[in-house]
Amino acid sequence: MKKLSLCVFLIYFSSAVSQKTENDSFITVTSPGGFSQINDLLFPGAVVYSGTDTSQVYVQHKGIKMWCDYAAFYQTDNFIRTFGNVKMNQGDSIRMSSKYAEYNGKSQFAFASGNVDMKNPGTTLKTDTLFFDRAKQQAYYRSGGIVTDTASSLKSRTGRYFIAEKRYQFLDDVKVTNPEYTIDSDHLNFYTENGHTYMYGPSTITGTTSKVYCERGFYDTRADEGYFIKNSRIEYNNRTITGDSLYFNRGTAFASATNHIVVTDTVNKSIIKGHYAEVYRAKDSVFITKRALAISIQDRDSVYIHADKLMVTGPEDDRVIRGFYDVRLFKTDLSGRSDSIITRQRTGLTKMISKPVLWSGKSQMTGDSIHIQSDTKTERLDSLRVFYNAFIIDKDSIDGFNQIKGKELIAKFNDSSELEVVHMYKNVENLTYLRNDSGKLIGIDKGTSGRWEVTFEHKEVSTTTFYNDPDSDTYPPEELPENARELRGFIWRGDEMIATKEDLFKGKPAPVLTPIKGIPLPKLEEDFFKKDKKIEIHKNSRLKKEDLQTRSEDTQEHIREKKNEG
């Protein structure tokens, strides 16, 4: 009889299955090493299970599985504490290991500490302590953690994982590290399935060749491309690009911007504005349209160039600006228009091509093409040349037009960027209105010569000289009919004159801006520890009442306030 009793006891001892297995509401424990119900000082009222050298204690409850070296199970309270090489699995969604873990079968609330390593498909979380609410299917840490996926690692002080959404929420001192870049943010949501990242609050993406800042943005950490709004900017090669919406692709070194764009070149002291831009970093080029405007900042007088399309290419020490279609140029003492324009900052040469016209003071200059030369050191206007069919027209004080034409024109500017002297060469023709001191028209002079020169003082003609076989006739006004008072090729374009910066856009409708698809702010998540029923803390738990409360410094509101104060 004694032998039979001993045999039954040994069978029960070796299987060591916890009671109440008929109801899955209760935790079940299987221990290959046996159990003890001795109420000692360490685990009063608990059943203590231990593993062996080859097999661990096995725990089950409603789809969760746990393994450990030994466990203390409080059967009456449906509460278990596990120690040593703890593993916890929930299907394929969560695989966690730690030195210690405890689990409440009533509330399905778990706590792990000591080298916590939580894996889910695609990512791994390492932290010191972790709270796991199976009822909500959420995990939470606030002691600092690092999440690693196939492309990057993400570090933050507080984090929360939403299992159903496969989404992490990181708060406070968030840092994403990738071989190509780093991301720093106040608040970042990361989706483990596709590597998509949403940034909220001041966020910076820093790479070896570029830097992106935004206060709301999206970045695909696996495709290396992103979309940024709200105070967003991209910095590279001494250029800064801002706009209502920015797109950036690191792999193709391409960026685009939409609405209220400003591209600032700090090296060349230039600004480009518009409402749509494309940036090719590898080619060092910027293409901009929709009210495109290039501004060359100068101490005395900045130069403004507007065109339907502007393109800036070349390295920082040799930028080239090209403008296409209805180009308009303005500075205080000079303005103009042409079909296209090319300006090279290294040489200081600007070429106006196809139907160019310039106005300096009261004088209009036209030709087949016009070249404007600036001094690269002082940035002041130095000279200009008009090639083929050069024509100067100066509106007379009362009526009519003073005119001179030739094959080529060369003009020189003084230190104040005002016309100082103008030379006209080859087949020169002139028509000049002559007036007496009282301003009365007394004659009209028409002539020809091989070369003509005029000097200016205080923006007014000082002297006029004709060279190389000059020949002229002066006609009484009544003897020269109206149709003979214009040289062949005469075209007055005064109605196109750019008198102010505002005239750069005169006659052009305001651009239709592209609607920006925003990134809405994230919803304020319910407090992780908030429950309809208060979480029970077992008297033998490592947790205290204050541990199951969200501290004010861990809330989204507090983090935003702290950053604003800083």
Determine contact, residues 323/340, Cβ cutoff 8 Å.
Answer: yes
- pLDDT, position 33: 72
Q: Is residue 380 part of a domain?
A: yes
Per-residue pLDDT tens over the stretch 300-331: 678 899 999 999 998 878 889 999 999 999 98
Q: Is residue 119 part of a domain?
A: no
Radius of gyration of the chain (CA): 40
State yes or no: pLDDT of 490 exceeds 50: yes
Which CATH number belongs to the domain containing residue 362 in this structure? Answer: 2.60.450
State yes or no: pLDDT of 560 exceeds 80: no
- pLDDT, position 375: 85
Q: What is the 3-state secondary structure (H, E, C) of 258-290?
A: EEEEEEEECCCCEEEEEEEEEEECCCCEEEEEE
State yes or no: pLDDT of 15 exceeds 90: no
- pLDDT, position 502: 92
How many structural domains comprise the chain? 2
Domain boundary among 64, 87, 110: 87
Determine contact, residues 317/290, Cβ cutoff 8 Å.
Answer: no
* Rounded Cα gap, residues 536 and 257, in angstroms: 53
- pLDDT, position 29: 93
Q: Is residue 167 part of a domain?
A: no
Q: Where is pLDDT greater, at 36 or 84?
A: 84
Q: Is residue 360 part of a domain?
A: yes
Q: Is residue 413 part of a domain?
A: yes
| Summary mean pLDDT of the chain | 87
Residue numbers of the domain that contains 421: 356-491
Give me the mean pLDDT over the 408-419 stretch. Answer: 86
Burial of 11 per CB tally in 10 Å (0-12, 13-18, 19+): exposed
Report the helix count and the strand count for the chain, using DSSP H and E: 2, 36
Domain boundary among 32, 61, 87: 87
Q: Is residue 371 part of a domain?
A: yes
- pLDDT, position 555: 59
Per-residue pLDDT tens over the stretch 332-385: 888 999 999 999 988 989 999 999 999 987 789 999 999 999 888 877 889 999
Per-residue pLDDT tens over the stretch 232-288: 999 987 889 999 999 999 888 899 999 999 999 888 788 999 999 999 888 889 999
Give me the mean pLDDT over the 196-225 stretch. Answer: 92
Q: Tell me if residue 13 falls in helix, strand or coil.
A: helix
Q: Is residue 454 part of a domain?
A: yes
Domain boundary among 491, 512, 531: 491
Q: Is residue 376 part of a domain?
A: yes
- pLDDT, position 461: 67
